[in-house]
Amino acid sequence: MKTLYSFSQKKFQGLSPASQLKALDKLTSSLDQALAAGDTAAELSAHIRQCVSWMARPCQDSAFRLAKELAAASTPQESEQAVQRFQASLGKTFKDTQLPARQQDGPRFADQLSLERAGRVVLILDNLRSVFNVGSIFRSAECLGLKELWLCGITATPDNPALAKTARGTAERVDWRHFDETREALAQARSQGYTLCALETSPLATSVFSEKYSLPLALVLGNESLGLAEDVLRICDRIVCLPVQGWKNSLNVAVACAICAYQIVFGLPLSNQGGKDA
């Protein structure tokens, strides 16, 4: 791991106290990236502690605590928590897209049956307004190995930089196509033999956990503000929803999509736990 920032004692001590904290901020951000990449980053951690030792006493409590916790850290998680506490002390907050994504993840657990099921599922996104929701859906689709995403109307496509950030490297790994109109996508799915299943809060909906899904299947997701139009729902074969037990009647569309898609690929209907998977 190449250190992005490093300081000689003379250079570091020549900085003002405020600039020294900014320098530590840059160093801890570099350490955060190294830890996410699976690097122990011992050299960088040691350099941060050395920089703190060069600060005039009494130095800021947050810097002293950072050095102390990094010295005591025996796992990447403990080092990362030390970084997080220091950055929080500077008043920093982060969006998901600003956080380093963990690399070198563990083994895949998919079996042939779940891969085959996922390969027969497409997602149809009806005029989603939030590029961040679309990016998150790309990430879920890639994790599951879904066949395709069909992006309709104003739904963002992977050439949008914000989508690429939220998708965290998955946008180029998922097949997708764009339709000007959602009804065009539904007609094409129908012609290809897909069962059209709308995910929507509706009195006619059944729970995603009790539905017995017929494959191949197109899961239709609606606009964050207005949901799916009535004429779209009439075209669909089934309507499913996520049961809620609190005050809010629905979840974020990307979260709801992930739950439903995982149930389609891996779950058995609760009413038929011992039966044959669809």
Q: 158: closest CA among 146, 172, 142, 148?
A: 172
Residue 105 included in any domain:
no
- The reply to whether 3 falls in a domain is no
Predicted confidence band of residue 257 (pLDDT cuts 50, 70, 90): very high
Please indicate, yes or no, whether residues 226 and 123 belong to a single structural domain of this protein: yes
Domain range enclosing 70:
9-92
Asked whether residue 44 falls in the same domain as residue 123, the answer is no
Same domain, 146 and 46: no
d(CA 198, CA 241): 8
Virtual torsion, Cα 250, 255, 258, 261, nearest 10 deg? 10
The token pair that represents 47 in the structure block: 């350099």
Same domain, 130 and 188: yes
Query: What letter represents residue 273's amino acid?
Result: Q
What total of structural domains would you count in the chain? 2
Contact 119, 145 (CB under 8 A): yes
Q: Is the pLDDT of residue 59 over 60?
A: yes
Going by pLDDT thresholds of 50, 70 and 90, the confidence category of residue 179 is: very high
Does 182 fall in a domain?
yes
37 and 174 fall within a common domain: no
Same domain, 131 and 259: yes
Distance (Å, rounded) from C-alpha 76 to C-alpha 39?
9
Q: Which of 92, 123, 142 is the last residue of a domain?
A: 92
Mean pLDDT, residues 10-27 taken together: 90
pLDDT by residue (tens digit) across 118-143?
999 999 999 888 888 898 899 899 88
Tell whether 246 and 116 lie within a shared domain: yes
The residues facing 152 across adjacent strands are: 126, 179
- Amino acid letter for position 222: G
Residues 245 and 148 in one domain: yes
Mean pLDDT of the chain: 83
CATH code for position 158: 3.40.1280.10
Residue showing tokens 């220091």: 86
On whether both 61 and 132 belong to a single domain, the answer is no
Q: Which residues of 111-149 are buried (b: 16+ CB within 10 A; e: fewer)?
A: eeebeebbbbbbbbbbbbbbbbbbbbbbbbbbbbbbbbb
Neighbours of 227 (CB within 10 A): 19
Residue 127 lies in a domain: yes
- Domain final position from 39, 64, 92: 92
Q: How far apart are CA 137 and CA 125, in angstroms?
A: 9
Buried/exposed 50-79: b ≥16 CB within 10 Å, e otherwise: ebbebbeeebbebbeebbebbeebeebeeb
**Residues 54, 83: one domain?**
yes
Q: What is the pLDDT of residues 205-251, one digit of tens each?
A: 899 999 989 999 999 999 877 888 888 999 999 999 998 887 766 77
Q: Residue 107 falls within a domain, yes or no?
A: no
Tell whether 145 and 238 lie within a shared domain.
yes
Task: Note the pTM of the prediction, 2 decimals.
Answer: 0.67
Question: Both tokens of residue 26?
Answer: 């840059």
72-109 per-position pLDDT tens digit? 988 887 888 888 888 888 886 655 554 455 544 555 66
